[in-house]
Amino acid sequence: MTADFLLSRYPYVLIAVLFAIGLYGMTVKRNLMKKIIGMTIFQTSIYLFFIQGATKQGATIPVLDPELGPSAELYINPLPQVIVLTAIVVGVAITGVALSLILVLYRRYGTLDEVELLRRMRESA
């Protein structure tokens, strides 16, 4: 029963696991780099979720093909793809800013460990 349930929805299970790993990494890990990796995993799980809903077995790219005709069944819904593409761009930008921030921090304090970093910050203040 449980196995059936998991098998029939395995993409969602996978996404949920990724989501949890990402959140865990962002909130619990002490290393700032790992936090950013967690953030990327977290975001990716959301993209996957969005895309997963738009999968269609046996459908093709959403460009009208005279041979196939206008039946919507044969084409993939383009909107989720577009949305996720945009979201990925946003996500990359966020990651870029995050990386540049930890670069500054590393140059200034020579560590990426959050606790150590805060200690050095206090000392230098």
Partner 1 sequence: MSQIPALIPTSLLLASLLSLLIGLKSRRGAHWTALLGAIAAFAFSLMGVKAMIDGDGEAIRYAAGNWIPPIGIEFVLDSLSAYMTAIITFIGVIVLIYAPRSLALETPGRERMVYPSMTLVLAGLVGMCLTGDVFNLYVFLEIAALAAYALLAIGDRGAPVATLRYLLFGAIGGGFYLLGVAYLYYATGTVNMADLSMRLPELMESQAVIVAAVLMVVGLGIKMALFPFHFWLPDVYTNAPSVSSALIAPVMTKVSAYAIIRLFLDVFPPGFFTANLPLAQTIGWFSAAGIIFGSVLAIAQHDYRRMLAYSSVGQLGYIGLGIGLANPIGMIGGLLHIVNHALMKGLLFMIGGAVRLRFGVTKIPDFVGVGRAMPWTMVAFTVGVLAMVGIPPTAGFFSKWYLLLGSAEAGAWVWFAVIIASSLLSAIYFFRVVEMVYRDPESDSAVEDREPLPRGEAPASMFWPITIMAVSIMAVGIFNVLIVSALLERVAAPLGG
Both tokens of residue 105?
Answer: 């921090």
Residue 3 CB neighbour total at 10 angstroms: 7
Cβ atoms of residues 75 and 59 within 8 Å: yes
The span from the CA of 49 to the CA of 16, in Å, is: 9
In Å, how far from its chain's centre is CA 97?
Answer: 16
Among 31, 83, 111, 113, binds partner 1 (CB under 8 A): 83
Q: Which residues is 113 bridged to in the sheet?
A: 31
* Site map 25..64 versus partner 1, x via CB under 8 A: -x-----x--x---x--xx--x--xx--x-----------
> Is residue 2 near partner 1 by the rule CB under 8 A?
no
Both tokens of residue 17?
Answer: 């696991």
* Site map 3..22 versus partner 1, x via CB under 8 A: --------------------
The residues of the shown chain that bind partner 1, judged by CB under 8 A, are 23, 26, 32, 35, 39, 42-43, 46, 49-50, 53, 79-80, 83, 86-87, 90, 93-94, 97-98, 101-102, 104-105, 108, 117-118, 121, 124-125
